[in-house]
């Protein structure tokens, strides 16, 4: 890989797409590349006058919105290190992460700021309201004057109007720190992943050459994943900015209804999503039709099945906007039943594999090269190996190497050392096998693996995929409990009421399915009992269950 400065790529994109639409709040304001560049330039002046130096940290904690993008771009193009913080975090977590990252500036939503205290974050020079860029707090009185006279300072710096030729963004180098991205995974406490510019560039090159070469300036994407998470940040925002695309931020809670409404109105050219989005559409709209005996029968008749599959594919494609090249799924395991159905009807989907520590991509295959159940092959610039005596049949830890891999964990030498093998490969903590064509098939997290009664490896995620296919099951979690396996199930209480079930009646209906569930599982991995969750599981922003909260 021949590295190019990410900020200089952004600079060129802004200059070439000056009058195109860049960032929108869905059903709200739209900023052109010119307007984004103008706001960045003003923030650069404010940074300079508030004493921010190259390499200082700038934290951003807000919901998805156009000014989130402006704040992030302003930080890295100035030469600062961006520290995106998930806005779902509690106040105590935000205080800790701002302090741990040694941030000097904090961009924050009004609502989030109400629960925060500047006294708890003594290293901050200034706190900026992300919606308006008003200063909410300053460590020095003279910094207030910076905001009050910012328009004058801008006019003085650019007396002959502000144009594309005025852009001169910070030129980054390959191993230089670009982002500290705090994880919010399924296994516990956040760690600050140090993402270098080479990882950003490698992911951008992968998207441009491999995953999305068909995308062009002026094309659209709907940003519905948390921008503070590397998956959404890289492939719903940063890559798009480097090629002149239009990013539509879903600034409200991205419920399935709002997401489908946005797809229908915007007609995105690429869709980046977590499996839960498609799984909900499948269970609510398609499965009830498929469960009818007549449809099941017709799907098994040659010629007729092709016609029906084509119709299903057409309707599903239309519901996702009708214009996209493919739907790229990642961030969590994909339900096998749903995937088999999508593959059968020829829907343009693919399942990738990545993690924050790889900014994020590790594996990918284009929709027409997908192998059902796999996460694709090693992405451009990346290498994969399985730590197993027989990587094709015996699951082992997935280990990776390449420019996407992070520098380690910020101010955590112990975690950094533990994350790499002696020969320099990154340990993902995921278990999998790899076939003769290089396709990776994940089995689960090594931390979640349970030993069966005779030493067999049991991966709870595989059992949960079976349970989740049953009626009235929204989601499940399999844990080891009292020497056996217990399935914690969150039922669809609302649908149960609509169908005339009492709470006890719905529980009984689901329990009746236990023998049938166990018939689909190996003898050593059968579920001993079922327990019901009154409310949904606590989840990460990627909608994965925070498994560590439910272990016994």
Tell me, what's the pLDDT at 365?
97
Residues 447-501 pLDDT 10s:
777 877 656 778 888 899 889 988 899 999 999 887 789 999 999 999 999 999 9
Q: What is the largest CA-CA distance in the chain?
A: 78
Residue of 348, 380, 350, 347 whose CA lies nearest to 365: 350
Instruction: Quote the radius of gyration of the chain (alpha carbons, Å).
Output: 24
DSSP state of 546: -
DSSP state of 541: T
**Are 64 and 130 a contacting pair, CB within 8 Å?**
no
For the domain bounded by 8-18+27-171, which CATH number is listed? 3.40.50.980
Residue of 429, 440, 1 whose CA lies nearest to 196: 1
**Are 546 and 540 a contacting pair, CB within 8 Å?**
yes
Are both 8-18+27-171 and 451-550 of the same fold? no
For the domain bounded by 274-445, which CATH number is listed? 3.40.50.12780
Name the helix (H) or strand (E) containing 178. Answer: strand 177-182
Q: CA–CA separation, 180 vs 168, rounded Å?
A: 24
| Integer angstrom CA distances of residue 88 from 57, 84, 93, 171, 225 | 20, 12, 10, 33, 13
Q: CA–CA separation, 41 vs 57, rounded Å?
A: 18
Tell me, what's the pLDDT at 186?
47
Fold of the domain spanning 451-550 = GMP Synthetase; Chain A, domain 3 (3.30.300)
**Are 275 and 342 a contacting pair, CB within 8 Å?**
no
- In the chain, where the domains are located: 8-18+27-171, 274-445, 451-550
Other C-beta atoms lying within 10 Å of the C-beta of residue 500: 8
For 54-112, give the secondary structure using H, E and C. CCCEEEEECCCCHHHHHHHHHHHHHCCEEEECCCCCCHHHHHHHHHHCCEEEEEECHHH
Tell me, what's the pLDDT at 333?
79
- Name the burial class of residue 120, with classes exposed (0-12), middle (13-18) and buried (19+) by CB atoms within 10 angstroms of its CB: middle
For 194-251, give the secondary structure using H, E and C. EEEHHHHHHHHHHHHHHHCCCCCCCCEEEECCCCCCHHHHHHHHHHHHHCCCEEEECC
Residue of 144, 177, 158, 164 whose CA lies nearest to 75: 177
Rounded to 10 deg, the angle between the 304-319 and 336-345 helix axes is: 110
Q: CA–CA separation, 216 vs 257, rounded Å?
A: 28
DSSP state of 388: S
Low-confidence ranges of the chain (pLDDT < 50): 186-187
Q: CA–CA separation, 376 vs 370, rounded Å?
A: 7
Laid out side by side, the sheet with 377-378 consists of: 353-354, 361-364, 377-378
| Integer angstrom CA distances of residue 284 from 83, 124, 327, 376, 517 | 38, 47, 19, 28, 21
Other C-beta atoms lying within 10 Å of the C-beta of residue 307: 10
Q: Which residues pair with 485 in a beta bridge?
A: 480
Tell me, what's the pLDDT at 279?
84
Through-space distance between the first and last CA atoms of the chain, rounded to whole angstroms: 46
């Amino acid at each position: 890989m021949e590295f190019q400065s990410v900020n200089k790529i952004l600079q060129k994109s802004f200059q070439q797409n000056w009058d195109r639409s860049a960032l929108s709040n869905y059903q709200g304001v739209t900023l052109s590349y010119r307007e984004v560049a103008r706001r960045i330039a003003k923030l650069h002046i404010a940074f300079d006058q508030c004493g921010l130096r190259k390499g200082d940290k700038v934290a951003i904690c807000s919901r998805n919105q156009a000014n989130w993008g402006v704040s992030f771009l302003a930080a890295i193009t100035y030469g600062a290190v961006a520290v995106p913080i998930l806005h779902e975090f509690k106040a105590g977590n935000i205080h800790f992460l701002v302090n741990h990252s040694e941030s000097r500036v904090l961009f924050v939503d009004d609502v989030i700021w109400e629960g925060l205290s500047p006294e708890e974050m003594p290293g901050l020079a200034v706190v900026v309201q992300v919606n308006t860029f008003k200063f909410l707090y300053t460590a020095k009185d003279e910094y207030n004057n910076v905001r009050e006279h910012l328009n004058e300072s801008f006019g003085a710096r650019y007396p002959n109007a502000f144009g594309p030729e005025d852009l001169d963004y910070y030129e980054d180098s390959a191993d230089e720190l670009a982002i500290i991205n705090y994880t919010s995974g399924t296994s516990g406490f956040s760690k600050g992943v140090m993402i270098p510019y080479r990882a950003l560039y490698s992911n951008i090159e992968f998207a441009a050459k491999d995953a999305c070469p068909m995308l062009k300036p002026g094309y659209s994407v709907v940003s519905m994943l948390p921008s503070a998470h590397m998956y959404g940040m890289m492939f719903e925002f940063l890559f798009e900015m480097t090629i002149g695309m239009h990013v539509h931020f879903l600034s409200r809670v991205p419920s399935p209804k709002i997401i489908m409404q946005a797809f229908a109105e915007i007609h995105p050219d690429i869709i980046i999503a977590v499996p839960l989005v498609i799984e909900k559409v499948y269970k609510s709209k398609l499965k009830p039709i498929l469960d009818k005996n007549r449809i099941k029968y017709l799907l098994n008749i040659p010629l007729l099945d092709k016609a029906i599959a084509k119709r299903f594919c057409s309707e599903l494609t239309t519901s996702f906007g009708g214009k996209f090249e493919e739907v790229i799924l990642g961030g969590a395991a994909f339900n096998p039943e749903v995937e088999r159905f999508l593959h059968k009807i020829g829907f343009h989907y693919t399942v990738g594999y990545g993690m924050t520590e790889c900014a994020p991509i590790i594996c990918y295959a284009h929709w027409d090269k997908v192998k059902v159940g796999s996460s694709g092959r090693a992405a451009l610039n990346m290498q994969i190996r399985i730590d197993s005596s027989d990587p094709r049949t015996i699951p082992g830890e997935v280990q990776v190497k390449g420019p996407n891999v992070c520098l380690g964990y910020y101010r955590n030498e112990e975690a950094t050392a533990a994350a790499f093998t002696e020969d320099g490969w990154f340990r993902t903590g995921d278990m999998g096998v790899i076939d003769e064509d290089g396709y990776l098939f994940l089995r689960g997290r090594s931390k979640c693996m349970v030993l069966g009664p005779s030493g067999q490896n049991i991966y709870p995620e595989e059992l949960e995929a079976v349970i989740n296919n049953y009626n009235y099951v929204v989601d499940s979690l399999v844990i080891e409990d009292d020497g056996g396996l217990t399935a914690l199930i969150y039922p669809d209480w609302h649908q149960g009421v609509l169908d005339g079930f009492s709470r006890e009646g719905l529980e009984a209906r689901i329990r009746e399915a236990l023998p049938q569930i166990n018939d689909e599982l190996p003898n050593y991995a059968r579920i001993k009992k079922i327990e019901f969750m009154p409310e949904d599981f606590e989840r990460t922003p990627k909608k994965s269950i925070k498994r560590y909260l439910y272990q016994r």
